[in-house]
Structure 1
Amino acid sequence: MQFSAKTEYACLAILELSLHQNDIRPLRIDDIASRHGIPSRFLVQILLQLKAAGIVLSIRGAAGGYRLAKPADTISLGEVMTVITGDRSNFVQNSNNVTPMSEALFQTWESISQIEQKNLCAVTFEDLLEQTGGKNADMYYI
Structure 2
Amino acid sequence: MRISQKLDYACRAMAQLAKRYDGRTITRLDELAQREAVSSNFLVQILNDLRRGGVIESRRGKAGGYLLARPPEAINLKEIVEAVEPSLLTITTHTEGESGAAVRQLWQAVSDRTREQLEGIDLKQLTERGNEPMYYI
**TM bucket, shorter chain:** 0.7 to 0.9
SS in 2 for 1:57: strand
- Tell me whether 1:98 sits opposite 2:67 in the alignment: no
SS at match of 2:129: helix
- Which among 110, 117, 120 is matched to residue 119 of structure 1? 117
Task: Quote how far apart the aligned CAs of 1:45 are.
Answer: 0.5
- Once the 2 structures are TM-superposed, how far is the Cα of residue 133 of structure 1 from its aligned partner? 2.8
What is the TM-score when the length of structure 2 is the normalising length? 0.87
Question: Which sections of structure 2, spanning at least 5 residues, go unmatched?
Answer: 133-137
AA partner of residue 103 (structure 2): L
Tell whether the 8 Å contact from 1:12 to 1:36 is kept in structure 2 after alignment: yes
Give the percent of matched residue pairs that are identical in Structure 1 and Structure 2: 31
Shift of 1:88: 3.8
Calculate the TM-score normalised by the size of structure 1. 0.84
Q: Which runs of 5+ in 1 are unaligned?
A: 135-142
Q: 1:10 matched to which residue of 2?
A: 10
Structure 1 ranges of 4+ moved more than 6 A? none
Q: Structure 2 counterpart of 1:52, which letter?
A: R
Deviates more, 1:74-83 or 1:101-110: 101-110
2:80 aligned partner, one-letter code: V
Q: Partner of 1:47 in structure 2?
A: 47
* CA distance in 2 between partners of 1:120 and 1:80 (Å): 9
TM-aligned CA deviation for residue 125 of structure 1: 0.5
Q: Is the 8 A contact 1:77 1:123 kept in 2?
A: yes
Q: Cα deviation per residue 1:63-102 (whole Å; 9 max; x = unaligned)?
A: 111111110101101110011111544424336x421x23
